[in-house]
Chain A
Amino acid sequence: DIQMTQSPSTLSASVGDRVTITCRASQSISSWLAWYQQKPGKAPKVLIYKTSSLESGVPSRFSGSGSGTEFTLTITSLQPDDFATYYCQQYSSYWTFGQGTKVEIK
């Protein structure tokens, strides 16, 4: 099984901050990685797929990069609507999620 490890687990930030979340795979997953945003009591929604492709309707302040085993999600200027939990997910071999990163208000 491919394991996905996200860091940090919690991130405290202020509006306007640049935020970076890291996701590491236990083996190479090429570019088969997606990022989701989840707000309390809601279903997740996809932000980025295939490492760096921005889902339609997602603000351009979200971006993804990486390949192989190390990936990042970057929010260039954090907005009030961005305080949420973020998950990475590999889909190279079956499907595995990271444990999540909660972005909270500093």
Chain B
Amino acid sequence: QITLKESGPTLVKPTQTLILTCTFSGFSLTTRGVRVGWIRQPPGKALEWLAVIYWDYDKRYSPSLKSRLTITKDTSKNQVVLTMTNMDPVDTASYFCVYMMRDNFADHWGQGTLVTVSS
């Protein structure tokens, strides 16, 4: 059974750096074809892809946020970490961790974690 769970701060101040961790089970991020990604959703708004990391350490970032994002993995801990710098109130959103295997769509989702950016 595949599960993913996001963790991190619920409140960050403007200009701070956000660090979110996705802890997963039921698969290995060393298996060929497996990817883990991050998606966010501001309250009442649409979904937005942020970043994806591949089993072979390849990475893809949203072009509009690339300068602020870093995605890494720790296969020994079954974790993927997303770092977003220079947080702003417009970054207030639920952040979801997702698993991809068959194609580049999200097969499985974490429950999401709400991050509020406010002073």
Contact = CB atoms under 8 A, between A and B. Distances in A.
A89 B109 CA distance: 15
A87 B109 contact: no
Contacts of B107: 46
Interface range for B: 20 to 34
B62 A87 contact: no
A30 B49 CA distance: 20
A100 interface: yes
B46 A97 contact: yes
Q: Name the prevailing secondary structure of the A interface residues.
A: loop
B63 A91 contact: no
A41 B17 CA distance: 26
A49 B102 CA distance: 10
Contacts of A46: 105-107
Nearest to A6: B46
Interface in A80-102: 87, 89, 91, 94-100
Interface residues of A, number: 20
Interface in B27-48: 37, 46-48
Given A32-B103, A49-B103, A94 B49 contact: yes
A91 B106 CA distance: 10
The 9 A-B residue pairs whose C-beta atoms are closest, nearest first, are A91-B104, A43-B109, A34-B105, A95-B49, A97-B47, A99-B46, A49-B105, A100-B46, A43-B112
12 contacts: A1-B63, A34-B106, A44-B106, A45-B109, A46-B106, A49-B102, A95-B52, A95-B104, A96-B49, A97-B46, A97-B47, A100-B46
